[in-house]
Amino acid sequence: MYSAKVMDHFMNPRNVGEIPDADGIGEVGNAKCGDIMRIYLDIEGNTIKDVKFKTFGCGAAVATSSMVTEMVKGKTIDEALTITNAAVAEALDGLPANKMHCSNLAADALHEAIKNYKEKEKAKG
C-alpha cells in the first residue's frame, strides 16, 4: 500500500517532539477527521533552524509530517513557503490515491506555523 519511504518515515519519524517557546506553531486537521498535525518552528533570521512535529493520524499523516520537517530544515521561510503537499507526497515516492486528500496536510501545517511566526513578529512590532 505505502511506499518503502513512507513506511520508513512512519516507523522512524524524523524530528518528533516539541520546541519549547517555538517561534511558530501550526496545526491543521482535527480529531474528528482522524488527523491532527502540529508543527513547531525555531527560526533565526529568515532561516528555519529547527523543526519538530507531533501528529495524531494514519501512516500517511505521520510520514508526511516527518518528511516535511526534513525538507524544511535549514531552508529560508520563503523557500519553505514553496513546499506543497504534492511535493511532500512526491518526496515520499507517492501516496495511495485515497490518502492524497485526507492525510496529506503536512505542508499546510508548515505554512500555518510560518503564518503564526509572522503574526508573532508583527505583534512584536
Q: Determine if 34 is a binding residue for other proteins (CB under 8 A).
A: yes
Q: Give the type of residue at 78.
A: D
Of 43 and 62, nearer to other proteins (C-beta) is 62
Q: How many residues bind other proteins (CB under 8 A)?
A: 30
Rounded to whole angstroms, how far apart are CA atoms 38 and 40? 7
Rounded to whole angstroms, how far apart are CA atoms 117 and 96? 32
Rounded to whole angstroms, how far apart are CA atoms 5 and 20? 29
Which residue of 14, 47, 50, 58 would you call a contact of other proteins, by CB under 8 A? 58
Q: Determine if 57 is a binding residue for other proteins (CB under 8 A).
A: yes
Which residue of 41, 61, 71, 113 would you call a contact of other proteins, by CB under 8 A? 61
Q: How far is the CB of 57 from other proteins (least distance, A)?
A: 5
To the query of whether residue 58 is one of the catalytic residues in this protein, the response is no
Rounded to whole angstroms, how far apart are CA atoms 1 and 96? 7
Residue-wise burial string across 11-27, b where 16 or more C-beta atoms lie within 10 A, e elsewhere: eebbbeeebeebbbbbb
Single out the catalytic residue among 1, 11, 17, 33: 33
Q: Site residues (CB under 8 A) for other proteins?
A: 1-2, 7, 10-11, 13, 16, 18, 27, 31-36, 38, 54-62, 96, 98-99, 102-103
Catalytic positions, please?
Answer: 33, 102
